Amino acid sequence: MLSYQHIYHAGNLADVQKHALLCHVLDYMTQKDKPLTYIETHAGRGLYDLSSHEAEKTGEAAGGISVLERKLRPSHPYRKRLAEVRARHGASAYPGSPLLAVLSLRPTDQIHLSELHPQEHHGLYLSMADFPVHLYQRDGLQQALALTPPTPRRGVMLIDPSYEIKDDYVTIPKLFAAVGRKWNVGVLMLWYPILTSGAHLEMLATMEENHPDHLRHEVRFPPVREGHRMIGSGMFIVNPPWGTAEAAAEITDLFKKL
Ligand code: SAM
């Protein structure tokens, strides 16, 4: 039974790191006039209202994107996408990764989004209504395995689990490696939390062994609430495109301005 709802966390510091890197990668990949495939395994609902009582209850966006957006350079693709989303959906709108992706991609690109939670899936269906995407309500990594290698072969996969099940730290690297074997040219991006318990460390050690060509980027921040176990956010990127290390360094500098 899934209970995680991203509305409580949308626009937090982890989203800023993940979404800024995702926008950079998609911006870079779409500079070439060749179509690509975008696969997302844990899509969420795609569009969030930061004035909702859920978002205001945690105040995570207020300590996240609300603080860092104006410190991002105006030409950053993430900042441009945020402005586009507000122009379409209002001042308190915040895009989830599927919306950032569809706004970054072109009609020739193929987009596949999985979301298991019925309510979140319905929200995703509504937020994607104007876009030609393929939606699935099934386990995202199993769906990714079924879709890979995709056509076109060039492309990006974002894996952004909620890590609600303890076994996720064991099963995710296995499925990630299986996708990597089937799609060895794909840019595979996995988000993970940095936890006081160190529960993420063994997963990362396995991932580093399985995927020699990777970039690992981490930012640290104070816990959002006393006793909260997340003290940072990480992205593990296999086959990082040219310029990703520089884009990641820019995000590191951004977090120094917190
Ligand atoms: N990627 C989104 C973004 O950045 O806007 C946020 C995704 S949220 C962290 C994780 C989502 O995964 C939740 O909406 C949850 O319902 C969904 N989920 C959990 N387990 C799943 C699974 N096995 N397959 C697909 N979706 C799943």
pLDDT tier, 224 (very low <50, low <70, confident <90, very high otherwise): confident
Report the pLDDT value the prediction gives residue 123, as an integer from 0 to 100. Answer: 98
Q: Give me the number of domains the chain comprises.
A: 1
- C-alpha 246 chain-centroid distance: 18
Pocket of ligand 1 (CB under 6 A): 2, 4, 6, 15, 41-44, 96-97, 114-117, 120, 139-140, 160, 162
- Is residue 196, in this structure, part of any structural domain at all? yes
Work out the percent of the chain whose per-residue pLDDT is above 70.
Answer: 100
- Is position 94 within any domain? yes
Q: At 250, phi and psi to the nearest 5?
A: -65, -40
Tens digits of residue pLDDT in 142-159: 999 999 999 999 999 999
CATH of the domain at 85: 3.40.50.150
For residue 24, pLDDT beyond 70 = yes
Q: Is the pLDDT of residue 165 over 90?
A: no
Region 64-71: what's the mean pLDDT?
Answer: 97
Give residue 1's pLDDT.
67
Q: Is residue 206 part of a domain?
A: yes
Host H or E run for residue 181: helix 168-182
Q: What is the distance in A from the centroid of ligand 1 to the CA of 120? A: 8
SS (H, E, C) 107-145: CCCEEEEECCCHHHHHHHHHHCCCCCCEEECCCHHHHHH
Assess if residue 1 is contained within a domain.
Answer: no
User: Is residue 118 within 8 Å of 137, Cβ to Cβ?
Assistant: yes
Point out the least confidently predicted range of 115-124, 175-184, 225-234, 247-256: 225-234
Please check if 89 is assigned to a binding site.
Answer: no
Q: Is the pLDDT of residue 176 over 70?
A: yes
What's the pLDDT at 109? 98
- 56-85: average pLDDT: 97
Q: Which domain holds residue 44?
A: 6-256
Among 6-20, 36-50, 217-231, 244-258, whose mean pLDDT is lowest? 217-231
Give ipTM to 2 decimals: 1.00
According to DSSP, the residues that pair with 169 across neighbouring strands are none
What is the pLDDT confidence band of residue 225, given thresholds at 50, 70 and 90?
A: confident
Residue 134 assigned ligand-binding role: no
Atom of ligand 1 minimally distant from the CA of 46: 5
Type of residue at 143: Q
Q: Which atom of ligand 1 is nearest to the CA of 9?
A: 9
What atom of ligand 1 comes closest to residue 100's alpha carbon? Answer: 5
Q: Is 27 one of the catalytic residues? A: no
Whether residue 198 has pLDDT greater than 80: yes
pLDDT on residue 98:
98
Q: What is the mean pLDDT of residues 160-170?
A: 92
Question: Mean pLDDT over residues 14-20, rounded?
Answer: 98
Convert the pLDDT of each residue in 72-109 to its tens digit: 999 999 999 999 999 999 999 999 999 999 999 999 99
Q: What was the pLDDT predicted at 3?
A: 87
Q: Are the beta carbons of 191 and 12 closer than 8 angstroms?
A: no
What is the average pLDDT value for the chain, to the nearest integer?
A: 96
